[in-house]
């Protein structure tokens, strides 16, 4: 219920962009973060990235083609789709 501090948001989006640049380079060589196999390294990112993709800042993922393809792959898995159907974002009463 508080007003977001845009300076903090901007600072951390810049940091995230640098991390995603590293991911983009890595994912240009392998399908997943730890290699060509789905692992805990990928699984760890699901819930945070799911919520992040519902923000106006999702372009940080979408503008990096390898990161975007990776996200689309891991987030489309049936097990995660089942979990995601129960995840809410800023909704009250759940």
Residue 15 domain flag:
no
Predicted local confidence at residue 89, as pLDDT: 67
Inside any domain, residue 73: yes
In this structure, is residue 12 part of a structural domain? no
Is 16 contained in some domain? no
Residue tagged 């219920």 (tokens): 1
- The reported pLDDT for the residue numbered 94 is 46
Do 42 and 34 contact (CB within 8 A), yes or no? yes
pTM: 0.88
The tens-digit pLDDT sequence of the chain (94 residues) is 789 899 999 999 999 999 999 999 999 999 999 999 999 999 999 999 999 999 999 999 999 999 999 999 999 999 999 999 999 866 654 4
Residue 86 CA, chain-centre distance (Å), reads 18
pLDDT for 93 equals 47
Task: Count CB-CB contacts under 10 A for residue 23.
Answer: 17
Report if residue 55 sits inside a domain. yes
Domain holding 71, by residue range, is 35-87
Residue 77 lies in a domain: yes
The predicted pLDDT at position 1 comes to 74
CATH number of the domain residue 67 falls in: 1.20.1050.10
DSSP three-state, residue 76: coil
Q: How many separate domains does the chain show?
A: 1
């Amino acid at each position: 219920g508080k007003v977001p501090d845009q300076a903090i948001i901007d600072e951390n989006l810049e940091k995230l962009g640098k991390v995603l640049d590293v991911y983009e380079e890595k994912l240009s060589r392998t399908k997943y973060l730890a290699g060509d196999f789905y692992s805990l390294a990928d699984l760890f990112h699901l819930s945070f990235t799911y919520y992040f993709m519902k923000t106006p800042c999702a372009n940080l993922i979408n503008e990096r083609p390898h990161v975007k393809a990776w996200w689309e792959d891991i987030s489309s898995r049936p097990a995660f789709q089942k979990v995601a159907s129960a995840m809410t974002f800023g909704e009250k009463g759940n």
